[in-house]
Amino acid sequence: MSETNWQLPLRLAALGFVAVIVQIAAVSQVTIFGVSIDLAPLLVASVGLVAGSLPGAVFGFAIGLFVDLALVQTLGVTSLLYILIGYAAGRFRELRDPAHGLVPVFVGAAATAIATVGFALLQFLLGVDAPVSWLLLRQVVVAILLGALFALPVHALVRRVVEGALPDDPRRRRRRAYTTGGLSPLSRPSQGSR
C-alpha cells in the first residue's frame, strides 16, 4: 500500500484516541442540566458524513470498543450502536449527497438519540437494573439537544482532520467538470447562433 492509503486510517486512529481520552478525562466531568455531553457519537457520525459508510462503520466499531474498554462496560454494546451510527451517516452521505450546512446538526441529533436510547434499551435487555422514569426521558431529550448543539464544531474538526486524506469522490469530480472550463451542455453555443 502506498503512503496515501494509510493516511486516512492513521488520522482516524489518532483522532479517535485523542477524542475518547478527552471525553473521559474532561468533557464527561462537565454536566449541563444533569447530563454530560457525549462527543463519541457525534464524532462517529461526522466521520460517516465525511468519509462514507464503510469508514464510518469501522471507526464506530473501534471507538465503541475503546469506550467500552476504557469505561469497563459490557464489551460490544457501544460498538454495536456506533457501527449503526457510522454506517447510517455514511449511507446518508452516499445516497443524498448532503450539501446543506445544517445537515451535521440533524445527523448529530439523530446519532445522539440512537446512542442514548439504544444504550438504555440494550442495558435493559441485558438485565442491568436501571431506574426507568420520566427523569430518563428528560435526560434523553437534553442529551439530544446537547448533541445537536455540539454537532457543528465536532463536524468541522473531523472535516479538517480527515479531508486531506480522503480519496477523490467521483461525484465531486463530475460536479467540478460541469462548473469549470465550460464543459456544461448548457453552455454550448446553439446550432442556430453560429
pLDDT in tens, 1-60: 455 578 888 999 999 999 999 989 988 888 888 888 889 999 999 999 998 889 999 999
Range of the domain at 121: 3-168
pLDDT at 139 over 90: no
Give a yes or no: residue 157 inside a domain: yes
- Average confidence score pLDDT of the chain: 82
pLDDT single digits (tens) 89-118: 999 988 876 777 788 899 999 999 999 989
pTM more than 0.85: no
Which CATH number do you get for residue 84? 1.10.1760
Give a yes or no: residue 177 inside a domain: no
* Burial state string for 40-77 with b = 16 or more CB within 10 A and e = fewer than 16: bbbbbbbbbbbbbbebbbbbbbbbbebbbeeeeeeeeb
Q: Closest by alpha carbon to 150, among 44, 49, 43, 12?
A: 43
Confidence at 131, pLDDT banded by 50, 70, 90: low
What is the reported pLDDT for 174? Answer: 47
| Number of independent structural domains in the chain | 1
Give a yes or no: residue 25 inside a domain: yes
What is the reported pLDDT for 86? Answer: 93
Give a yes or no: residue 190 inside a domain: no
Give a yes or no: residue 187 inside a domain: no
Give a yes or no: residue 158 inside a domain: yes
74 touches 40 (CB < 8 A): no
66 touches 20 (CB < 8 A): yes
Give a yes or no: residue 14 inside a domain: yes
Name the CA dihedral angle for 66, 72, 76, 77, rounded to a multiple of 10 degrees.
Answer: -110
Give a yes or no: residue 176 inside a domain: no
Task: Give the three cell numbers for residue 13.
Answer: 486512529
* φ and ψ at residue 31, rounded to 5 degrees: -120, 140
